[in-house]
Amino acid sequence: MSSSDDEGEEYLFKIVIIGDSAVGKSNILSRYARNEFNLHSKATIGVEFQTQSIEINGKEVKAQIWDTAGQERFRAVTCAYYRGAFGALVVYDITRRDTFESATKWLDELRTHSDTTVAMMLVGNKCDLENIRAVSIDEGKSLAEQEGLFFMETSALDSTNVTKAFELVVREIY
Report the chain's terminal Cα–Cα distance, integer Å. 23
The residue from 44, 95, 125, 155 that contacts Mg ion (CB under 5 A) is 44
Task: Work out what residue 173 binds among ligand GTP, Mg ion, none; the CB cut-off runs from 5 to 8 Å by kind.
Answer: none
∠ CA 142-174-27, nearest 5°, is: 60
125 scored as a contact of Mg ion (CB under 5 A):
no
Q: Which is nearer to Mg ion, 25 or 61 (CB)?
A: 25
**For residues 121 and 150, is the Cβ–Cβ distance under 8 A?**
yes
How many C-beta atoms lie closer than 10 Å to residue 126's C-beta?
A: 26
70 scored as a contact of ligand GTP (CB under 6 A):
yes
95 scored as a contact of Mg ion (CB under 5 A):
no
Q: Which of residues 90-129 bind ligand GTP (CB under 6 A)?
A: 125-126, 128-129
Task: Work out what residue 38 binds among ligand GTP, Mg ion, none; the CB cut-off runs from 5 to 8 Å by kind.
Answer: ligand GTP
SS3 for 148? coil
How many C-beta atoms lie closer than 10 Å to residue 63's C-beta?
A: 25
Q: What residue ranges bind Mg ion (CB under 5 A)?
A: 25-26, 44
